[in-house]
């Protein structure tokens, strides 16, 4: 039987054309995708399309959008062998991270891709990204099991785990990086799958579980030398706030000013969660390495190791939506359940 892929267009540069009068980028009618990319007819599998209406600039992505996307995939899960999601690059790493936590027991590929130049432009990177993503989404072994059974981002010849990825360049075709986890596949003249890095379900046939209750009572606090007490206290005093992603220096260090540690301790003592992730691109938080990290631990801060900001924020949204008890969330936060922590 032919394999079937659902191609979902949510918006972003990839589906745009330049308006010759205004020179502004505007979305084209996605039902005309075959006109723009006639190469798609050459695939030996079925490609159905679904377009969001209206499409969004990915800067407008939010929990409601992720729930819609998750439910769309859930409703079509049995009918398709894989999903390719065309998405703006700006927040693609957030959306891919969110979906990785929302889709439990996933055993089919969900591959996000996009482009830096619109598909209607001669030098576009969109065609290649789209064609390669479709091929990766349809690939399977002799038993019909897909090679890829997780949420990924494909960009410029590399397939990355979605919740390990971050947007790296506003201009380069190679726009994404997965600093702490190797690529899942590299596409050249051959497609080379990295079997050691890919997720392999331990059992096939488990029902897909969708977590669509998201709680966004989360703040991101990026520290910097000279940060003021008023600013830190204002963030922590945000009404209803349940969790803070604390972006620290190096291996998880922060100022040792008494007011800073006191502010964090007050927040955690009142039941709030503070998770420590590093501002560095590579490496991980180790709060036992320096005295300044250790004081954070004493203030009740939990360790995010090498989670990206995108993963930490969206994992919190999903966990806080699932559990009303912050203690349970804090415990689950430190455990890698979807390959998001080394």
Nearer to ligand ASP, 172 or 342 (CB): 172
Distance in Å, CB of 312 to ligand ASP, minimum: 21
Distance in Å, CB of 110 to ligand ASP, minimum: 18
Q: Measured between alpha carbons, how far is 280 from 179 in angstroms, rounded to an integer?
A: 10
Nearer to ligand ASP, 113 or 308 (CB): 113
Does the annotation count 13 as an active-site position?
Answer: yes
Q: Measured between alpha carbons, how far is 131 from 117 in angstroms, rounded to an integer?
A: 15
For residue 108, what are its two tokens? Answer: 């089919």
Q: Measured between alpha carbons, how far is 100 from 66 in angstroms, rounded to an integer?
A: 11
Nearer to ligand ASP, 91 or 276 (CB): 91
Can you point out the beta strands (E) in 133-234? 151-155, 158-161, 166-167, 176-177, 185-187, 191-193, 209-210, 218-222
Closest by CA to 10, choosing from 44, 57, 48, 43, is: 57
Distance in Å, CB of 221 to ligand ASP, minimum: 25
Q: Answer for the pair 289, 295: CB distance below 8 angstroms, yes or no.
A: no
The closest residue (CB) to ligand ASP is 88
Q: Measured between alpha carbons, how far is 30 from 52 in angstroms, rounded to an integer?
A: 9
Distance in Å, CB of 162 to ligand ASP, minimum: 16
Nearer to ligand ASP, 58 or 276 (CB): 58
Distance in Å, CB of 8 to ligand ASP, minimum: 14
Residues that bind ligand ASP in the complex, under the rule CB under 6 A: 11-13, 57-59, 88-90, 114
Nearer to ligand ASP, 77 or 155 (CB): 155
Greatest CA span in the chain, whole angstroms? 66
Which residue of the set 10, 13, 166, 314 is catalytic? 13
Q: Measured between alpha carbons, how far is 60 from 41 in angstroms, rounded to an integer?
A: 32
SS3 84: strand
**Alpha-carbon distances, residue 341 vs 107, 115, 309 (angstroms):** 20, 27, 12
What residues act catalytically?
Answer: 13
């Amino acid at each position: 039987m032919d394999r079937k892929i659902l191609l979902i267009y949510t918006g972003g540069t990839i589906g745009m054309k330049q308006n010759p009068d205004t020179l502004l980028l505007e979305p084209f009618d996605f039902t005309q995708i075959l006109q723009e990319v006639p190469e798609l007819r050459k695939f030996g599998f079925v490609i159905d399309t679904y377009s969001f209406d209206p499409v969004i600039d990915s800067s407008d992505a939010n929990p409601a959008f992720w729930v819609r996307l998750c439910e769309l995939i859930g409703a079509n899960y049995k009918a398709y062998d894989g999903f390719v999601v065309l998405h703006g690059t700006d927040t693609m790493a957030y959306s891919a991270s969110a979906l990785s936590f929302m889709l439990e027991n996933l055993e089919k590929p969900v591959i996000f891709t996009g482009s830096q130049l619109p598909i209607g432009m001669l030098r576009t990177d969109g065609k290649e990204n789209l064609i390669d993503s479709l091929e990766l989404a349809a690939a399977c072994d002799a038993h019909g099991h897909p090679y890829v059974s997780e949420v990924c981002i494909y960009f410029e010849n590399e397939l990355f785990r979605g919740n390990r990825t971050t947007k790296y360049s506003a201009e380069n075709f190679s726009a994404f990086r997965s600093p702490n986890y190797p690529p899942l596949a590299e596409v050249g003249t051959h497609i080379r799958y990295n079997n050691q890095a890919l997720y392999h379900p331990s059992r096939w046939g488990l029902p897909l579980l969708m977590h669509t209750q998201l709680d966004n009572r989360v703040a991101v606090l990026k520290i910097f030398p000279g940060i003021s007490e008023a600013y830190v206290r204002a963030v922590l005093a945000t009404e209803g706030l349940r969790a803070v992603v604390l972006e620290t220096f190096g291996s998880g260090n922060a100022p040792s000013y008494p007011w800073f540690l006191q502010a964090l301790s007050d927040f955690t003592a009142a039941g709030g969660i503070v998770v420590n992730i590093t501002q560095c691109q590579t490496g991980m938080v180790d709060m036992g390495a320096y005295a300044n990290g250790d004081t954070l631990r004493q203030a009740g801060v939990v360790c995010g190791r090498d989670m990206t900001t995108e993963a930490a924020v969206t994992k919190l949204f999903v966990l806080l939506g699932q559990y009303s008890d912050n203690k349970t969330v804090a415990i689950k936060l430190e455990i890698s359940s979807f390959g998001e922590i080394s």
